[in-house]
A and B are shown apart, each in its own frame.
Chain A
Amino acid sequence: MTQIDQPTRPVAAPPKGAGPLAKREARLAWGMLAPTLAAVALVVILPLLAIFWISFKPVELADLRPPEVSVREDVRGKPAEPGDPATLRYRLRNSSQDAPITGVTLRDTLPDGVEITGGLIEGCTVQGRDLFCDFGDWDGGARVRLQIEVVTDQAFFDGPDPRDSAPIVTGEASNILTNFSFTFDNYARIFDSSEFFKVLWVTLFYTIFGTIGALVMGLFAALLLDKSFKGQGILRGLYLFPYVAPVIAVAFAWVLLLDPFSGSINALLIQMGVTEQAINFFGEEPLALIMVTVFEIWRYFPLSFLFILARMQSIDTEMYEAADMDGATPFQQFRYLSLPQLLGILSVLFLLRFIWTFNKFDDIFLLTGGNAGTRTLTVNVYEQAFALSNIGAGAAVAVVIFCCLLLFSVFFFRVVSQEEGL
């Protein structure tokens, strides 16, 4: 047995870790992504954090403007000639009815040609012609009236208007948005009301039927246009109209069309004898929800149609020829050949559209404003925050929406990664 000693030499192996080239590439990549990352962080991540923060705060719309001292200055007593007495009056108040302001001070320059005759209230001093007052801490809704009795002389009438020198007021108020008082009231409030479960049910109805409806209609439209004929391009363009037009334009067109008093559809239905009385499509309790769902289907079937059509046109036609030879009927071909091929895009579309319909706000807001039993979660955000001026409660609803969304997207990525290997 012979053994040949081989000189030890380094074995050729891929380098461990990132080489300088890979590092440079990664650096470049992050550099190119940096602007986008910054923008997204600023406008998506930051607001998301903010919405969590606000949802735990008792904030009303009016609190957005922090309390401040407002001051008005005027001259009373109508001095007409030198020697007349007059009163310089400052009226100060806390602009907020309930938030306190600490360390309120006022500083102003007295007008020319006045001599103080009366006493000053406590906390005020005059040095030369500079007036300074320290009012200490104020509760919400506090008002102070400061009156200074004076005698005027000629210089008063020659000089500028006394109100030309604006008084400077200072004072510190704690901003409700930035302080550290928290509350669960907002959540208690939105979960407590039986309304919440109604809102949830309306959202689910709208989302599920809107999504399925748009998919089925899209599939039907795609089947119609999945053959080449003259005018196919025109029809394809036409069928995309509802999606491309501004939502506000088509929503108002629908509202006018279905108006109970002078809408064309009602006139048509009455003329055809379908109904005796005009129907208030967007104003009656169950019907309004059905109508906004129909609108959703109408507006978004083009999108499903486009995606399904694109997938259909990539299916091999030879398969259908073979099936034809084997005697498969058209419905069998659809059921056993087309549908399995379309299942992937249909499920991805279903999930995406589901999420997007869940998130939809504009459509319902414009059609009914959330009235007549059409208030979905998203409309509820607006309703709570702006109609009821309770920003905190609106934020709490928004947090609920965001949590639902996270849940959906976990599910979504599972399906999508199976379908598209994303």
Chain B
Amino acid sequence: MRAIYHAYVTGPILGALWGFVIAVTVSIAMSFATGEAFRPSFLLSLLWGAGIGAAAVHSRAVAVLAALAALAAGILGFGPMLSGESVGPLPQLIGHGAMSVFATLGMVSIMAKAPKGALTRHEFEEAVIRFLTGFGYIFFTAIVLIPFYVMVMTSLKSQQALLQNPLDFSIDFSQGWDLFRSYEELFRDHGFGGFLLNSFFISVITVFVTLLFAIPGAYAVARLRFKGQAAFARSILLIYMVPMIVLALPIYIAFSTAGLRNSIFGIVLIYPVTTIPVALYMLQGYFRGLPSEIEEAGLMDGLSRLRVIWKITLPLSLPALASVSLYVFMIAWNEFLLAFMLLDDPSKFTLTRGIASLNSSEIPRQHLMAGSVIATVPIMALFLGLERFMTKGLTAGSVKG
């Protein structure tokens, strides 16, 4: 165990691991970008990585030399990453260049604080943590981005291109507007414009109705004293945990008999009820955090409770209202199960229901992905624009998913 606390042991070991990580990352990136054959060589990437690690421990100049050697070896065919024979000179240069640059830069910064000789446990762990950090950024970014990237790229391709080479996600810009033909067809032939409007309309109404119910309820639970207040606060959380699938059956039956199935009105009736407990729980947490002295001052000055809520509490809790609204909007926009069970008529579909209707073998899958992009982009844009509210709102008390 002691032997590992030495720069010339730690460096090559971490280097080997890092070399492999970078080789895999760059080959995946290059394959997806060009559609050409790039693949990491397990053994060679470990060896080259170890070498680069040792060089990085020694000095920066040697590290640069190691990087150049790895680049040359890569192009000659025995580097950490192998490329197929059909790969053109430019992608080869970019691929192998990225491979050696990232491997070397990474190792130099991983071993930056370590001295050349024996390491203390502190220095060793620091190096390991730097390696893990680098790995973590690559790993998480890759797993999050790849599905979304594939979603967008698939929607822009044609059926033959997809079948010909499933790895090729390069975009042929020469087609101009033709790139977006899947979207055009969805809006023209499948009525996605209507779905978009329905989804938007339903989500906005859901937000308003939810707030209308949740604000007074949350205020009562947070501020007013009455018997059973504590039990009530708990039962909100409990209701919030009842799974939709358990309720969906009786709701389906009730809606079928009442003739509310297959109507937007029915959906607007049911969505807010699924979001009210969440909103109530989040808002009461926020209301509790507000100083009650301000409200008491208002009461002393002769305002009624309701006026106090309207004039003092609500203006103070605008940020919380914004995050609750966003969160409720997101739930309503993404809701799938109820829309799937209750809506049959295409003119009343929400976006999620519309995408579900595209999932058949007769409809090409770029349409399915284009539909997914149409549903994802608005909620992402909203979310990125108001990210501050969103993160706050999510942590304010919602662990629902």
Contact = CB atoms under 8 A, between A and B. Distances in A.
Interface of A: 22, 25-26, 28-30, 32-33, 35-36, 39-40, 42-44, 46-48, 50-51, 54, 64, 177, 220-221, 223-224, 233, 235-250, 252-254, 256-257, 262-264, 266-268, 271-273, 298-300, 303, 306-307, 310, 327, 329-331, 349, 352-353, 355-356, 358-362, 366, 378, 381-382, 385, 391, 394-395, 398, 401-402, 405, 409, 413, 422
B166 A394 contact: no
Main secondary structure of the interface of B (DSSP, over half): helix
A356 B244 CA distance: 11
A401 B166 contact: no
Contacts of B188: none
A262 B217 CA distance: 52
Given A246-B375, A253-B372, A44 B247 contact: yes
A248 B150 contact: no
Interface residues of B, number: 104
Nearest to A301: B140
B272 to A, nearest CB: 7
Contacts of B125: 329-331
Contact of B245 (A244, A250, A398): A398
Contact of B246 (A25, A30, A401): A401
Contact of B352 (A238, A248, A299, A306): A248
B220 interface: yes
B213 interface: yes
Interface stretch (B31-39, B61-69, B93-101, B176-184): B31-39
Contacts of A46: 250
7 contacts: A238-B144, A249-B373, A253-B148, A253-B151, A262-B166, A264-B32, A327-B122
Contacts of B226: 25-26, 29-30
A310 B384 CA distance: 18
Interface in B234-271: 234, 237-239, 241-247, 249-251, 253-254, 256-257, 270
A25 to B, nearest CB: 5
Interface in B58-84: none
B278 to A, nearest CB: 12
A310 B373 CA distance: 30
A249 B137 CA distance: 24
B111 interface: no
B391 A394 contact: no
A248 B351 CA distance: 10
Interface string B364-399: 010011011101100110011001001100110001
Given A36-B276, A250-B147, A422-B237, 18 more contacts: A26-B225, A26-B227, A30-B220, A33-B216, A51-B250, A64-B256, A236-B391, A237-B383, A246-B333, A246-B336, A248-B375, A253-B147, A254-B147, A266-B166, A303-B401, A307-B395, A378-B243, A382-B245
B15 to A, nearest CB: 20
B328 interface: no
B380 A249 contact: no
Given A43-B273, A244-B383, A398-B245, A28 B220 contact: yes
A267 B166 contact: yes
A204 to B, nearest CB: 16
Contact of A241 (B148, B244, B249): B148
B17 interface: no
B399 A235 contact: no
Contact of B216 (A35, A47, A264): A35
B55 interface: no
Given A33-B216, A244-B379, A262-B162, A64 B253 contact: yes
Nearest to A386: B341
B167 interface: yes
Contacts of B148: 241, 245, 250, 253
Given A44-B239, A247-B334, A256-B369, A28 B247 contact: no
Given A26-B224, A48-B246, A54-B250, A35 B217 contact: yes
A64 B133 CA distance: 57
A247 B368 contact: no
Interface in B118-148: 121-122, 125-126, 129, 133, 136-137, 140-141, 143-148
B22 interface: no
Nearest to A27: B226
A401 B220 contact: no
A354 B379 CA distance: 26
A254 to B, nearest CB: 6
B355 A252 contact: yes
B87 to A, nearest CB: 12
Given A36-B276, A51-B246, A245 B376 contact: yes
Contacts of A250: 147-148, 151, 372, 376
